[in-house]
Structure 1
Amino acid sequence: MKKIKHIKILAFAAIFTMLFAGCEKESETKVIKLGHSLDISHPVHQAMIFMGERVMEKSNGSLKIDIYPNQQLGSERECLELLQIGSLGMTKVSTGVMENFAPGLRVFGLPFLFRDRDHRFEILEGNIGEDFLDSSLDKRLKGLTFYDAGSRSFYTKKPVETPEDLKGLKLRVMESQTAINMVKNLGGSPTPIAWGELYTALQQGIVDGAENNLPSFHLSRHYEVCKYFLVDEHTALPDMLVIGTPVWNKLSDDEKKWLKEAAMESSEHQKKLWRDAELEALAKIKEAGVQVLQANKDEFRDMVQPMYDEFKEDADMKKIIEEIQEAK
């Protein structure tokens, strides 16, 4: 009886190892496991599918990416921790969560940092962006590329048009100190909640609203609970495709090249998918009865100025902010 029990334990351990190994071999094909929290219809997931196809083409079938969406392998934070120990190969994470591992990324959480979309991509795809991708190597995490996550705005159960209207509202934020401080500066009550738990939290009144981009608001079906979407576009936090260095360091030079190239190509592909998704989301939420309100951005910008003053007390952060703001 003890022998049978021992065999069962060994079998379970073997299955667990097969599922969560960050990088493994299937005959002559090396497989990297990628886990993320998004729905399969999300533009970022579609871009990852595209990346997987490009990796297979570039490697002539010798390198493959298996993708596990919908938090099958954990939340963004949990996936990052699995990357660090090599139990998972890759993940997609918001830079708002990533700032817990690379403090310099806090700058992306500053409201109204970018002038427009073109300015944002000039930064992300230039030297500053490349430095940010490598800023968490000491935490065993390496960024491969950024994905467009659009601009974030507030959505609530009751109409909100000014910072005054946010006062006293419990608003869901990511596990990001910068996001928490932003909502506090605007008079709201920030409440960190995992993305996968937010629909229920809104439904049960644990929070009165949240903030995110249009496609996420649409695909999460949060519009069923929150009937007001305020276009204030306070932040433009990009998503980041990350690989754990325990897996990255096991790749050959060719495999690293194929993966990096495919990641960059998927980023370009995702930009187009994202633009289409934003237009579709806007049309769909309006059809569902959501009132889309336009904010006076200057009112919101004035309220968060203390965040800039605080950030610039750090000489390194002050330099980064100025470099971003001065970029043509």
Structure 2
Amino acid sequence: MLRFSKFAAAASVAVSVMMGAASAQTVLRSSDTHPDGYPTVEAVKHFGELIKERTEGRYEVEVYHSAQLGQEADTIEQVRSGVIDLNRVSMAPWNSLVPATLIPSLPYLFRSPEHARNVMSGPIGEEIAKGFDQHGVVLLAFYDGGARSFYNSKKPINTLEDMKGLKFRVIQSDVFVDMVAALGASATPMPYGEVYSAIETGVIDGAENNFPSYESAKHFEVAKNFSLDEHTIVPEVFVMSKASWDKLTPEDQEIFKQAARDSMEKQWELWDARVAESRKIVEAAGSQITTPDKQPFIDAMKPVYDKYVNTPELQDLVKRIQETEG
């Protein structure tokens, strides 16, 4: 009987230790509007794997893709208030909160995806990231959001004149609304998840996005005309709730920062492969890809730049971005 009691006591201690270990694990929820398999979703999964490994299982990341936790505007509020821990969204919806994010959202600012990556992963990116701190989030990484172009259900766009009279969905950003207006078209901000049906029913004529989004959301089924004007290369942001960040030790904060940077480089690799694959898919499905002369489109942006690049600080930021190699 004594021997059994000792065994029972030892077992009880073992169970207690195991339960303590289990309760010590923190599961962090991360949101993304894109579908499973999309480069940003896979990059955050990679981030989670690195976190789990480097914290020896103390932290784990659950990725909720396909807007399971809401559309971008909703999840931004959730991460700011600490309802969710991590969030991958476009930079553009932050324009009204973080003024410096307006600059990377400007049309025709970046010469190429490589140029955008060099800018956002360097000192300029760190400078812009600091502006998020006062809004309840910590910016962990900038992902590549790809070059955005116009597509529509009506006609190919070969010239600036072809833009006139068309109605395009844009993300909820004043810069995007003004950009479309400067090109002679009409802009309708609406959630990403409503675009397909809006084009199908004629509420709008088209939208603007990159090849992977155009393909994965099946927009190519209802808008066959894709104009490769590459008007913006707006970075994506991967942010963490300040409430969740402040619970980390300084050592764990460094682990999270490095894992985010590693996931950023992973995302670039995945992105390049996905762009090539998506273009091949939509072309095979019958999409017409046209490449208009960009210069008239660029020239039409003067009022947009005059409106938003309106302080010496912002003018200097534009100048430094343009001077960055890439």
- Confirm or deny a common fold (TM above 0.5): yes
**CA contact under 8 A between 2:102 and 2:308: conserved in structure 1?**
no
Distance 1:118 1:92 in 2: 20
Is 1:308–2:305 an aligned residue pair? yes
Distance 1:31 1:254 in 2: 18
Find the residue that maps to 1:206 and give its secondary structure: coil
1:137 corresponding residue in structure 2: 133
Find the residue that maps to 2:108 and give its secondary structure: coil
Aligned-pair CA distance for 1:200: 0.9
**CA contact under 8 A between 1:153 and 1:230: conserved in structure 2?**
yes
Q: Which moved more, 1:103-112 or 1:225-234?
A: 103-112
Find the residue that maps to 1:237 and give its secondary structure: coil
Superposition map of 1:85-100 within 5 A: 85-100=81-96
Find the residue that maps to 1:153 and give its secondary structure: strand
Aligned-partner residue type, residue 77 of structure 2: E
**CA contact under 8 A between 2:113 and 2:144: conserved in structure 1?**
no
Distance 1:26 1:86 in 2: 23
1:56 corresponding residue in structure 2: 52
Distance 2:220 2:113 in 1: 25
Find the residue that maps to 1:109 and give its secondary structure: coil
Aligned-partner residue type, residue 162 of structure 2: D
Aligned-pair CA distance for 1:26: 5.5
1:46 corresponding residue in structure 2: 42
Distance 1:199 1:282 in 2: 18
Distance 2:310 2:80 in 1: 31
CA separation of 1:202 and 1:26: change in aligned 2, threshold 3 A: farther
Is 1:263–2:260 an aligned residue pair? yes
Distance 2:64 2:312 in 1: 40
Counterpart selection for 1:178 from 175, 181, 195:
175
Superposition map of 1:117-196 within 5 A: 117-157=113-153, 158-196=155-193
Aligned-pair CA distance for 1:312: 3.2
Superposition map of 1:1-328 within 5 A: 27-157=23-153, 158-328=155-325
Aligned-partner residue type, residue 68 of structure 2: Q
1:9 corresponding residue in structure 2: none
**CA contact under 8 A between 1:46 and 1:270: conserved in structure 2?**
yes
Distance 2:186 2:227 in 1: 17
Identity of aligned residues (%): 34
How many residue pairs match? The answer is 304
- TM superposition score normalised by structure 2: 0.91
Aligned-pair CA distance for 1:287: 0.6
Q: Which moved more, 1:56-65 or 1:161-170?
A: 161-170
Aligned-partner residue type, residue 149 of structure 2: S
Aligned-partner residue type, residue 273 of structure 2: D
Structure 1 unaligned residues grouped into runs of 5+ = 1-24
Aligned-partner residue type, residue 200 of structure 1: S
Over aligned residues, Cα RMSD in angstroms? 1.2
Distance 1:122 1:177 in 2: 26
Which consecutive aligned stretches of 4+ in structure 1 deviate over 6 angstroms post-superposition? none
Aligned-pair CA distance for 1:101: 2.1
